[in-house]
Chain A
Amino acid sequence: MTADAPVLVVEGVSKEFFGVRVLRDVSLSLAPGRVLGLVGENGAGKSTLMNILGGILVPDGGSMRLDGEPYRPRGPRDAAALGVTFIHQELNVFSNLSITDNLFLTSYPRLRPLPLLAKRASRERARQLLREVGLDRSPDDLVETLAPGERQLVEIAKAISTDAKVVIFDEPTTSLTARETEKLFDLLRRLQARGTAIVYISHILADVRRVADEILVLRDGGLVGSGPVAEFPTDRMISLMVGRALEQLYPDRRAVPGDGVVLDVAHLSQPGVVADVSLQVHEGEVVGLFGLMGAGRTELARMVFGLDPYASGSVAVDGHRVPPLDPRAAIRRGAAFVTEDRRDEGLLMDFPVVDNLAMVALPRFGRGPAGVVDTRALVAAAREVGKSLRLKTASLERQPARSLSGGNQQKIVLGKWLLSQPRLFILDEPTRGVDVGAKYEVYTVVDDLAARGAGVLVISSELDELQGICDRILVLRRGEITGGFERGAFDAERILRAAFGEPARRASAQDVAEETT
């Protein structure tokens, strides 16, 4: 085998989830000591591809080869044993254990033939690994005492300890300070020098350009561009990522925004999460909140709704100040929150549709001092809401929410709020896990809400979607609003730039990173 023979070859890999193609016929090849930069919008298929490489998902089609041998990992452990290590965005460290314990969790050296752990040898090996990655800590230190960057180094040390041939980094710098980032890049270069092949995934395009030898751009699950880094200036990467022209996937907007302010957020700050965020949503207006993962979108929504604390600033709904950490007060003022996570935060899965619809407005149907539920009125109201949402159920009173499709489940979550006629809707990723047809219906509901005079704040990772349904799009980056775009002046490239922090990015990004650590 020559030095230039690729260590990893991927040919025509595809993956479907529930009939939706999330990865189409992707091929790549990676030589030892080379760094492949993988970029794409949220949902473009990057994670799916990497999960396939890391043995977490099994591809539906295509083949992979590692060192010339067919590569079919049966799981992450198998992948690691074969030489492919995945360093996740959310680090898989056990913070209550020591560095040594974390390093050897799956392959602790033993005192053969005794079934005991070789503690001293492990610590020695750990010390050596820490030296290699440049982490100046004792192997006995608990991982919880480490800074995020140091934890990452522990993960990398773990990868080195198994002599990985391919190391995958998923957004490695999001939680790192500028200094830690530099250290990481040094280490990447050293790994390269050892002949390790690296896949580097990041939204920070300047970083990608700096470390990568080759670039691969994914969009909608397909490969839209690949080649040496020199051929991919940042501009080209962004336009390739955005790509597709908008089709008629969205209902026409009927509502016209009014003058009344429904939501008024003033100077909201919480260290490390959001910094001095001010925004307004008007009657009948649909405002989109765009940002990359980890930009603070969901966190902002949770603060506004009173679920998460904030250090300073104020929130008012319909002109009334809403106290922090009191969702019930927010609801009384007319706020509604459709969370990203339907299963854990939205629905009672095993309960019938009507019980789910009743969750918010229930007290209105209580009669007498004991609060006996007026079932007839409740079912009638639920039926009406169901009809207005085109909810498809066999029986409102019998069918458990679990048995419905994602789209219909989402309609139930919307419906439980509709029963209480809110003034402000906060929708967090309202179409996630919803099939294409039902998406259109969710968009119609959003338009209906606005037409009734409610203010709507929509959080989404899909820029297309926001452009299709919003009157205004605000961009959040690292907890700060970095752009505002009116309908008619939507420009995907400019919005993405604001989200990525291009072009004037490095300086400010470093500042924020230093502050938050």
Chain B
Amino acid sequence: MPRPNDALTDPERPAGTAGSSGSGGAAAVLRRVPRLLLSQYLVVVLTVVYVLALLPFTDGLLSSGNVANVLSNYWPLLVVAVGQTFVLVVAGIDLSQTSIMAITNVVAALLVTQAANPVQFSKSPFWGNLIGPDGGPLPASAWGVAVAVVAAVALGALIGLGNGLAVSRLGMPAFMVTLVSLLFFSALAIWATKSENVVDLPDAYVWLGSGDLLGVVPVPLLLAGGVAVAAHLLLARTVLGRRLYAVGTNARAAAISGVPTARVVTTAYVISGICATVGALLYSARLEQGRPTLGANQLLDVVGACVIGGVSLFGGKGNVLGAALGVLLFVVLANGLNLLQLPFTTVMVVKGLVILLAAVLDVLRTRGLEGRT
């Protein structure tokens, strides 16, 4: 099965292929960098080394409680990063994911909340029409929650569609389009709730984020794992997947070869919006509240995780597995720094350095492959 993203990790690919055809600084640097450093699996090594290094200095890094904690942080972020991967593959970027998270989790929560405090919510624009003292319009049943989930996902997809159309049909820069979406929908989420968290969510909703199936398999694992596997198959095995890579690698060649480039790019943003929504619902269900600031600080975690997992900001390279590993590193990193009881500022600095490392590796990989100055 030839997958385009194999190129980086393919052991049979001669190491010199990349550098030999090229000249100049990047290629020369590349030859001195061990293969592993440019491999997608570097992130696994980094994660293991990090955990081993921290083991003597932390209490219970590998305790079942902490592992469960890490994983509960892992699933939502994984889904969001999987969505980002699609956009990065078509050489775009979706900065609006965190705002989609904010607006969709708030909307879902408002729809199913069972009670709203008038002191907090009477100033909300939805007071009296959508929500009242008895909460949102939908019942607490599984059916009600299902409708809320569908509505939220539809909203996420719609925002993604708007982003995608603006990028592919109007030719606007992805950075600009999604930055505007980021500002707009973040503000909208806060406006809709007047900055209050939406609580009193039904059990069926909370079950999504912390429930078990048959008492053993966590529901978020199933949902996030399902999304990740489906996304992997979509990218690696389908016509759409191939086209996403083709458009991200060489949009002109793809268009001349009859690839509907605008539609392919738009689809990537829609998928990104849907994934952001699913991730948001998992978070919100675990927190048992709809939060207008949900995900506000996670944008760089998502993009950084993808890139360090081998998804290129230049488009056309990377896969779901890489993104999943990248997210693991980020979640473990944050958790470990927390256990060391380092101040928030230190955590930020370390994260920043890791993202920098990811970006540098991305440049080295891309330069090396292009082999030209």
Q: Which chain B residues lie closer than 8 Å to A373 at the CB level?
A: 237-239, 241-242
How far in angstroms is the closest Cβ of chain B from A376? 10
Q: Which chain B residues lie closer than 8 Å to A370 at the CB level?
A: 233-234, 238
Listed stretches B7-15, B29-37, B120-128, B174-182; interface member = B7-15
Task: Tell me the chain B residues, 254-276 only, with Cβ under 8 Å from chain A.
Answer: 254-260
Residue of B whose beta carbon sits closest to that of A359: B257
**Do B246 and A348 touch (CB < 8 A)?**
yes
**Do A358 and B242 touch (CB < 8 A)?**
yes
Tell me, in angstroms, the Cα distance from A363 to B241 when the chains sit together: 11
The contact of A351 among B4, B17, B234, B239, by CB within 8 Å, is: B4
How far in angstroms is the closest Cβ of chain B from A506? 39
Listed stretches A15-23, A60-68, A218-226, A396-404; interface member = A396-404
**Do B253 and A371 touch (CB < 8 A)?**
no
How many chain B residues touch the partner (CB < 8 A)?
36
With A327-B258, A328-B260 known to touch, is A348 a contact of B250 (CB < 8 Å)? yes
Q: Is B185 an interface residue (CB 8 A)?
A: no
With A344-B250, A348-B246, A355-B4 known to touch, is A362 a contact of B239 (CB < 8 Å)? yes
Q: Is A360 an interface residue (CB 8 A)?
A: yes
**Do B13 and A366 touch (CB < 8 A)?**
no
With A348-B246, A348-B250 known to touch, is A337 a contact of B4 (CB < 8 Å)? no
Q: Which chain A residues lie closer than 8 Å to B369 at the CB level?
A: 350
**Do B260 and A346 touch (CB < 8 A)?**
no
Besides A345-B256, A351-B249, A375-B1, 15 more A-B contacts (Cβ < 8 Å) are A307-B256, A345-B252, A348-B4, A348-B250, A350-B369, A350-B370, A354-B2, A355-B246, A362-B243, A370-B238, A371-B239, A372-B233, A402-B21, A403-B21, A416-B257
**Do A331 and B258 touch (CB < 8 A)?**
yes
The contact of A398 among B12, B240, B242, B258, by CB within 8 Å, is: B12
With A327-B255, A375-B1, A402-B21 known to touch, is A348 a contact of B239 (CB < 8 Å)? no
Q: Is A485 an interface residue (CB 8 A)?
A: no
Task: Tell me the chain B residues, 214-246 only, with Cβ under 8 Å from chain A.
Answer: 233-234, 237-243, 245-246
**Do A328 and B253 touch (CB < 8 A)?**
no
How far in angstroms is the closest Cβ of chain A from B263? 10
Q: Which chain B residues lie closer than 8 Å to A167 at the CB level?
A: none
**Do A327 and B17 touch (CB < 8 A)?**
no
Q: Is A309 an interface residue (CB 8 A)?
A: no
How far in angstroms is the closest Cβ of chain A from B364? 15
How far in angstroms is the closest Cβ of chain B from A459? 15
**Do B239 and A363 touch (CB < 8 A)?**
yes
Q: Which chain A residues lie closer than 8 Å to B7 at the CB level?
A: 350-352, 400
**Do A366 and B238 touch (CB < 8 A)?**
yes
Q: Is A347 an interface residue (CB 8 A)?
A: yes
How far in angstroms is the closest Cβ of chain A from B12? 6
Q: Is A202 an interface residue (CB 8 A)?
A: no
Instruction: Bits for A348-391, please: 1 = Cβ < 8 Å to B, else 0.
Output: 11111011001110110110001111010001000000000000
Tell me, in angstroms, the Cα distance from A350 to B21 when the chains sit together: 12
Tell me, in angstroms, the Cα distance from A363 to B316 when the chains sit together: 19
Give the interface of A toward B (CB within 8 A). Answer: 305, 307, 327-328, 331, 337, 339, 344-352, 354-355, 358-360, 362-363, 365-366, 370-373, 375, 379, 397-398, 400, 402-403, 416
Q: Is B83 an interface residue (CB 8 A)?
A: no
**Do A355 and B2 touch (CB < 8 A)?**
yes
Q: Is B371 an interface residue (CB 8 A)?
A: yes
Q: Which chain A residues lie closer than 8 Å to B233 at the CB level?
A: 370, 372
With A344-B253, A403-B17 known to touch, is A365 a contact of B239 (CB < 8 Å)? yes
Interface centre among A347, A351, A354, A375 (most CB of B within 10 A): A351
The contact of B2 among A337, A360, A371, A397, by CB within 8 Å, is: A397
The contact of B249 among A350, A363, A398, by CB within 8 Å, is: A350
How far in angstroms is the closest Cβ of chain B from A379? 8
Q: Which chain B residues lie closer than 8 Å to A397 at the CB level?
A: 2
Q: 10 nearest interchain CB pairs?
A: A371-B239, A366-B239, A331-B258, A397-B2, A359-B257, A371-B238, A348-B249, A360-B257, A351-B4, A345-B252
With A375-B1, A375-B2 known to touch, is A359 a contact of B253 (CB < 8 Å)? yes
Q: Which chain A residues lie closer than 8 Å to B260 at the CB level?
A: 328
**Do B258 and A328 touch (CB < 8 A)?**
yes
Tell me, in angstroms, the Cα distance from A344 to B370 when the chains sit together: 13
**Do B242 and A347 touch (CB < 8 A)?**
no
How far in angstroms is the closest Cβ of chain A from B316? 8
**Do B17 and A400 touch (CB < 8 A)?**
yes
Tell me, in angstroms, the Cα distance from A331 to B240 when the chains sit together: 18
Tell me, in angstroms, the Cα distance from A350 to B46 when the chains sit together: 27
Q: Which chain A residues lie closer than 8 Å to B240 at the CB level?
A: 371
**Do A348 and B1 touch (CB < 8 A)?**
no
The contact of A327 among B10, B246, B256, by CB within 8 Å, is: B256
Would you mind naming 29 contact pairs between A and B with Cβ atoms under 8 Å apart? A305-B256, A307-B255, A307-B256, A328-B260, A339-B256, A344-B252, A346-B253, A346-B256, A348-B245, A348-B250, A349-B370, A350-B7, A350-B316, A350-B317, A350-B370, A352-B4, A355-B4, A358-B242, A359-B258, A360-B257, A363-B239, A366-B239, A370-B238, A371-B239, A373-B237, A373-B239, A398-B2, A400-B13, A400-B17
Q: Which chain B residues lie closer than 8 Å to A337 at the CB level?
A: 256
Q: Which chain A residues lie closer than 8 Å to B246 at the CB level?
A: 348, 351, 355, 359
**Do B2 and A359 touch (CB < 8 A)?**
no
How far in angstroms is the closest Cβ of chain B from A311? 22
Q: Which chain A residues lie closer than 8 Å to B242 at the CB level?
A: 355, 358, 362, 373
How far in angstroms is the closest Cβ of chain B from A359? 4
How far in angstroms is the closest Cβ of chain A from B219? 25
How far in angstroms is the closest Cβ of chain B from A380? 13
Interface centre among A331, A360, A373 (most CB of B within 10 A): A373
Q: Which chain A residues lie closer than 8 Å to B316 at the CB level?
A: 348, 350
Tell me, in angstroms, the Cα distance from A351 to B21 when the chains sit together: 15
Q: Which chain B residues lie closer than 8 Å to A403 at the CB level?
A: 17, 21
How far in angstroms is the closest Cβ of chain A from B271? 13
Q: Which chain B residues lie closer than 8 Å to A345 at the CB level?
A: 250, 252-253, 256
How far in angstroms is the closest Cβ of chain A from B311? 15
Tell me, in angstroms, the Cα distance from A354 to B246 when the chains sit together: 13
With A331-B258, A344-B252, A345-B256 known to touch, is A398 a contact of B243 (CB < 8 Å)? no
Residue of A whose beta carbon sits closest to that of B234: A370
Tell me, in angstroms, the Cα distance from A348 to B4 when the chains sit together: 10
Residue of B whose beta carbon sits closest to that of A366: B239
Q: Which chain B residues lie closer than 8 Å to A352 at the CB level?
A: 2, 4, 7
Interface centre among B13, B21, B238, B239 (most CB of A within 10 A): B239
Q: Which chain A residues lie closer than 8 Å to B257 at the CB level?
A: 359-360, 416
